[in-house]
Amino acid sequence: MIGRVALRALLAAAIVGAGTAAAHAGAWTQAKGHGQVIVSGTYSDSPKGFDDDGSAVDIPDYRKFELNTLIEYGITDAVTAILQPQLQSVDIGQPTDASRFGLGYSELGGRVRLWSDDVSVLSGQVVARIPGTYDDDDPASIGNTDPELDMRMLYGRSFGIGSWSSFLDVQLGYRARFGDPPSEFKADVTFGTRPADDLLLLVQSFNSIGDGSEKSFFVSGSEHKLQLSGVWDVNESWSLQLGGVATIAGENALRERGLVAAVWHRF
């Protein structure tokens, strides 16, 4: 049998959602008639989790691969449509011994620019998240079978660090979950800088904090991830991204370590 602490940490996969490469591109909207497509793959392994006190504990090995396709298109200069389907593979080791391959969450929504000047932008964003499975009896699907609504305010600012073109993107929001898993507050921060014209370095922090509501056997938790990556511009239309992601702290959460790779296309 899995210990109570280990079980609570394992269930965190259904409680605090990962934001990593699937995260939306930022506060800036796309120009009318233009957009981008980002196809990203993230592989992570979690042989340990964080317990109620944030200490590392052994759990059944939790391996996950996600393939996300983020599509953003400028309906107007101030309104950007967002579509993001996901393909997901989950494998949980002994003694749980469960696996699943199929659609993950698909996202549909939009971002509206509320205010901007020459260097800054403030936007609002609402995205509906539609689950790819409704099988509550599958341990590899548990907690990911109910619709969700992600609502955010986003602020972006561009600036220079010496000769390096840089930016900061801050997103604060709330993800309402229409099921037993607790809803959660979101706080994501991205810092980007260009040491060369064709190279963008990204430092990203993805944070989820449960709102304290607890139903059924789900418990509220928190998760704090750090992602470091580089994006190489092949030309004006295509870019390649490679990096790593890790959960650096949390409570009732998986302790993930993983790799991220993506292809960007601007049109």
Q: Are 150 and 183 in contact (CB under 8 A)?
A: no
Tens digits of residue pLDDT in 181-222: 899 999 999 999 999 999 999 999 999 999 988 777 778 889
**How many other C-beta atoms lie within 10 A of the C-beta of residue 53?**
9
Residue 67's Cβ-count burial label (10 Å; 0-12, 13-18, 19+) is middle
Residue with tokens 């009896």: 137
155, 122 Cβ separation under 8 angstroms: yes
- What are 101's strand-pairing partners? 89
Q: Residue 10 in contact with residue 2, Cβ under 8 Å?
A: yes
Instruction: Give the residue carrying structure tokens 């259904």.
Output: 14
Give Cβ neighbours of residue 126 (< 8 Å, ≥ 6 apart). 109, 110, 149, 150, 151, 152
Closest by CA position to 190, among listed 69, 19, 37: 19
CATH of the domain at 141: 2.40.160.40
Each residue of 222-246: pLDDT tens digit?
999 999 999 999 999 999 999 999 9
Range of the domain at 193: 4-266
Dump pLDDT digits (tens) for 21-55. 444 469 999 999 999 999 999 999 999 999 888 99
Number of domains in the chain: 1
